[in-house]
Amino acid sequence: MEQNETSLVLIGYMPPLALASLLQQALPWLSPDGRAAIGTLICWNGRVGSAQALGERLGLRTRYQLGRLLRCEGLPPYEELAGWICVLHWLLRIEREPGVSLRSLARQAGMSTENSYRLVRRITGQRWKDLRVAGSREVIRWFVRRTTPARLPHAYAATRRAQPSPALAPTVVDQASSDRPYRMALPGAPYGIAVRDRDLAYITRTEAAAIACLDLQTGRLVGSIALGCGPSCVVFDPTGARAYVSVHYHDEIAIIDAERHLPIGAFHVPGDPVPLALSSRGQTLFVSTNEDRLFALNAGSGRIIGSLQLPATSHHLALHPAGDRLYVATRAGGTVLEIDTTRLRVQRTFELGGWPQGLVIAPDGATLYAANEQHGLDVVTLGNGRQGRLPIAGGAVSLALSPDGFLYTGLVHAGTVSVIAAAQLRLCSSIATGGRPRQIAFDARNRVLIVNEGGWVDVLPSGMHRIPSADQREAPAPALRSAS
């Protein structure tokens, strides 16, 4: 599935499958770190910014470490590698869409037409019209000739991962124990969050290859756990002693000892895994990937016990309180699938239209709520499949339900979070966060934690922004309709 260029979702930022698959087949010796470097460049079409920026996304501290990694992987230096990725992206795009010109692609990349032609000539030694005649597969063979199969592809990665991860500077928050809202800076494009009762939250930092550890009792960022490139979603097991983190560029789910805050293992899952859901007893782990596939894994051994092909990529999963059904939002497919967790088969398909994203199941199991990036909030009565809709502009992506019955949805294009009374399905208010609010969670004190990809986390006490205005209180509830 090719991602929509006007609405990047990490998920961050998933690499387009066509080029990623071609290069992975052409460079089979690459280690996870090498594949991550290629995948990160692909998802930005080779325009990641600088060697330092790419290194940070891989969890490296300097551009010199990146240079060493690329040499160990048998890849060209950063500038040349980024140029190859950019040229290959243009070539594949034009082959797929013959009406597209290099002029328009260069403009999208923020380059002049003259510079784009110079880049092609400098990187490949050929003219653009020669590349068009040769075709993408032949040009990939030219690129492969610039690489050298590494004899020990994992040696560098093993050395780097053995280094202790840098600790985050402690953030002292005087308001942490009070009822006042506060904001803490957290660089590295934070995205996902999991909360363990009253004491701990893990927050993924997708551009820092790490997880931040937030002490909820003191309001301090107390440490950082180094992982592979692209940690996105995280869940705690029922005991709180272990956490699972999807690391999509490394094709793995990292296992974290949540007492010592250390990685203790990993499960291999092919195809860039992202959203996670864990069964109530912690025995089965569900994950979907960028290859449009859902996997069920034994959470103890990592053994894949089942898989299901999806109609489109999913970025959000939700388990029914009964544990017998899993709901899968397929963004580009415009649907939410209801899946039997024992047989991993589709039972029903809810045609919602738009781009379904975050999912929440009501505690009584009777209602499904789905954030929809194109039109707001969809509501499905699970007993009879009837659907309703609450229009909200701004790109609803994340969705969370507070313990006292309020839905919070992050509008990534508007930089706000909408608060909705779930029982009446009425919009109460809007929280102006700025940035790009991503995943939302609640701690045991009913405080809402809003992770913002712009580089911070907002913590709001319970009860804020929940009183509807007179106009909102009088607004009629949306009509329900039967599912298709």
Please report, in tens digits, the pLDDT of each residue of the chain (484 residues total). Answer: 333 333 333 333 444 567 888 888 899 999 888 988 998 898 888 888 899 989 988 888 889 999 999 999 999 999 999 999 999 999 998 998 888 899 999 998 889 999 999 999 999 999 999 999 999 999 999 999 999 886 544 544 444 443 444 444 445 444 444 567 889 999 999 999 999 988 999 999 999 999 999 999 888 899 999 998 999 999 999 999 999 999 988 999 999 999 999 999 999 999 899 999 999 999 999 999 998 999 999 999 999 999 999 999 999 999 999 999 999 999 999 999 999 999 999 999 999 999 999 999 999 999 999 999 999 999 999 999 999 999 999 999 999 999 999 999 999 999 999 999 999 999 999 999 999 999 999 998 889 999 999 999 999 987 766 554 444 443 343 443 444 3
DSSP H/E element including 452: strand 448-452
Q: What is the DSSP string of 24-36?
A: HHH-TT--HHHHH
Close Cβ partners of 80 (under 8 Å, ≥ 6 residues apart): 123, 146
Close Cβ partners of 379 (under 8 Å, ≥ 6 residues apart): 367, 368, 369, 370, 387, 388, 389, 390, 425, 478, 480
The CA angle 434-438-440, to the nearest 5 degrees, is 105
* pLDDT for 464: 64
Do residues 407 and 366 touch, judged by C-beta distance below 8 A?
no
Do residues 423 and 414 touch, judged by C-beta distance below 8 A?
no
Give CA–CA dist 61/59, Å, rounded: 7
Do residues 381 and 367 touch, judged by C-beta distance below 8 A?
yes
Close Cβ partners of 433 (under 8 Å, ≥ 6 residues apart): 410, 415, 416, 417, 450, 452, 458
Strand 182-185, strand 456-460: pairing: antiparallel
* pLDDT for 6: 31
What global pTM score does this model have? 0.84
R_g over Cα of the chain:
23
Give CA–CA dist 320/338, Å, rounded: 10
Q: How many residues are present in the chain?
A: 484
User: Helix, strand or coil for residue 219?
Assistant: coil
Do residues 204 and 248 touch, judged by C-beta distance below 8 A?
no
* pLDDT for 21: 82
Close Cβ partners of 175 (under 8 Å, ≥ 6 residues apart): 181, 182, 219
* Domain annotation for the chain: domains and CATH numbers: 17-158 (no CATH), 165-474 (2.130.10.10)
Close Cβ partners of 151 (under 8 Å, ≥ 6 residues apart): none
206-233: per-residue pLDDT in tens?
999 999 999 998 888 999 999 989 999 9
Identify the DSSP state of 335. Answer: E
